[in-house]
Amino acid sequence: MNGAESLLTSLLHNDVDTCFANPGTSEMHFVAALDRVSGMRCVLGLFEGVVTGAADGYARMLDRPAVTLLHLGPGLANGLSNLHNAKRAQSPIVNVIGDHATFHRQLDAPLTSDIEGAARPFSHWVRTSASANALASDAAAAVAAARSAPGRISSLILPADAAWNEVSVAQSEVTSAALVSPPARPADVSIEAAAEILKSDRNAAVILAGYATREAPLEFAGMISAATGARLYSQTLTPRITRGAGRVAVERIPYPIDQAVALLKDVDNIILVGASAPVGFFAYPGKPGKLFQPGTRIHELVGVDGDIPYALEALADAVGAKKFTPARAELDLPARPTGSISPEKIGQLLAATLPTDAIVVDESITTGRSFLSATRSSHPHDWILPTGGSIGFALPVAAGAAIACADRKVVCLESDGSGMYMPQALWTHARESLNILTIVFANRKYQILRNEMHNVGATEIGPKASRLLDIDDPEIDWAHLAKSVGVDARRVDTMDTFSSALDAGFATQGPYLIEVAF
């Protein structure tokens, strides 16, 4: 058994059975081992951001890590921006990054770089394997680190000779991941303090993040709200929200700073459940960085790495909420809008058509501001957002979500600006026949930046600035772009044609793309 086989065996032993890969020469022994050690599903991405984004989507749906396979420092670098999102989403991921053979590094060959240095800002755990003998235990340690609450990024650097050398020590006792400590329960005093706040202030806000926005914890949050009047909020960007008919609805803290501040203006008490105290996405001159008022009291019920389901159930007990029925969204599908296209009508059409158990991956940015509220009473579904704010997120994450949940329809809401960061993901959609309906909202501009220019006080947009904010020259033909990499596609420019294209897309078992020109 060589090192690569030992590494693969250890990963599989520790329940890591999916590999998103873009390999190079230094990873060839890992690649070769895939046919000798059975059980690892491999998915090729044509760009490393696709690989890491897919691992993020996979982790968000299954709450366990996939492994990525990346080529040296530059290959890792290409994957870092989606690792940023994954890190902020608390997604467990194990990166395996090939390096030169240990004895080759000192020669400073062209591809040599500081891989540990590049990995560190976007990882919680970084290790370079010393030898073939170390790989089984290193892999187990990487998995354990990724699985530690709430979910972390592990980066294991694999020297080429560690992969190709034979393993010379017995491995059987070192390959199991160290037992991961369960997430810590908050102290009783923290629960009691939250209960006191909720009992005395019917206007308190509960901000839910991390695991708190999944179906079961949301039930307890709904009971608490029903019993105490507390308002339930999610952060602007949440890793995954379980929502739609039958689920307890939460209101999203809006991205625009003025709207967010207005929402929390009269809140005297905020209880954080896996969330941080709400802050603005960006700083704006003359506007606050914190979204809450100076006098607002903040109480952390439980951190993102704590036992969130326990904390919510305990709090429900403490406020006597378990006898209350949470307010669940009831199925209420709007009529399909017709005529010319507007963001609001798009939200209504999505609300009317989202299939049961759809997984929505949302990078619709400015077009999609109304989508969450519009789909509150749609068929039950999951909603995924770009937690770290890094662009180029949706197409890769959709791939990983579709691989994690092959029996569900993934709806990828993409923008033309954002989509151009990682369009290569569409090829993987086609290669793996992934059940993904991608909708590209093509407004031919970075509309969010036009808004932000105004928000930061740069109110005059001259011709040079405009050229950096508009992407209409040349116009990107998304339908043809998709077809060029194997994804069937169609462009629509009215709500009626959009509506029929959606029917076609939802009926397709495999990838499909709709370009919405408006």
6, 364, 390, 447: which one binds a copy of itself (CB under 8 A): 390
- The DSSP result for 353-417, as a single string, is HPPTTEEEEE--GGGGTTHHHHTTTSSSEEEE--TT--SS-HHHHHHHHHHH-TTS-EEEEEEHH
Is residue 513 a contact residue for a copy of itself (CB under 8 A)?
no
Under the binding rule (CB under 8 A), the answer on residue 396 touching a copy of itself is no
Please report, as residue ranges, which positions from 237 to 256 form the binding site for a copy of itself (by CB under 8 A).
237
**Residue 141 CB, nearest distance to a copy of itself (Å)?**
23
From residue 344, how far is each of 228, 349, 369, 451, 476 by CA, in Å?
33, 9, 9, 18, 23
> Is the CB of 65 or the CB of 388 nearer to a copy of itself?
388
Report in angstroms how near the CB of residue 262 gets to a copy of itself at its nearest: 19
Identify residues 449-488 at the interface with a copy of itself (CB under 8 A). Answer: 449, 452-453, 455-458, 460-465, 467-469, 471, 473-478, 480-481, 483-486
Which residues from 402-421 bind a copy of itself, rule CB under 8 A?
Answer: 417, 420-421
Pick between residue 229 and residue 289 the one whose CB is nearest to a copy of itself.
289
Q: Which of residues 422-441 bind a copy of itself (CB under 8 A)?
A: 423-424, 427, 430-431
Of 208, 93, 217, nearest to 148 by C-alpha is 93
Q: How far is CA 382 from CA 76, 247, 434, in A?
A: 29, 10, 17
List of residues 6+ apart from 219 with CB closer than 8 A: 248, 326
Residue 386 structure tokens: 């770009």
User: How far is Cα 360 from Cα 413, in angstroms, rounded to an integer?
Assistant: 7
Least Cβ distance, residue 91 to a copy of itself (angstroms): 14
Contacts (CB under 8 A) with a copy of itself, residues 15-44? 21, 23-26, 28-29, 31-32, 34-36, 40, 42, 44
Asked if residue 384 lies in contact with residue 359, where contact means CB atoms within 8 angstroms, the answer is yes
Q: Would residue 365 be called left, alpha or beta, if left means φ above 0 and alpha means ψ between -120 and 50 degrees?
A: left
Least distance from C-beta 66 to a copy of itself, angstroms? 15
- The least distance separating a copy of itself from the CB of residue 474, rounded to whole angstroms, comes to 3
Please report, as residue ranges, which positions from 93 to 122 form the binding site for a copy of itself (by CB under 8 A): 100-101, 103-104, 107-111, 113-114, 117-118, 120-122
The interface region with a copy of itself, picked from 218-226, 242-250, 273-281, 399-407 by CB under 8 A, is 273-281
For residue 340, the minimal CB distance to a copy of itself (Å) is: 25
Write the secondary structure of 295-335 as one string of H (helix), E (strand) and C (coil). Answer: CCEEEEEECCCECHHHHHHHHHHHCCCCCCCCCECCCCCCC
Residue type, 241: I
**Residue 187 CB, nearest approach to a copy of itself (Å):** 24
Binding mask 283-302 for a copy of itself (x = CB under 8 A): x-x---xx------------
Query: Phi then psi for 341, rounded to 5 degrees?
Result: -90, 135
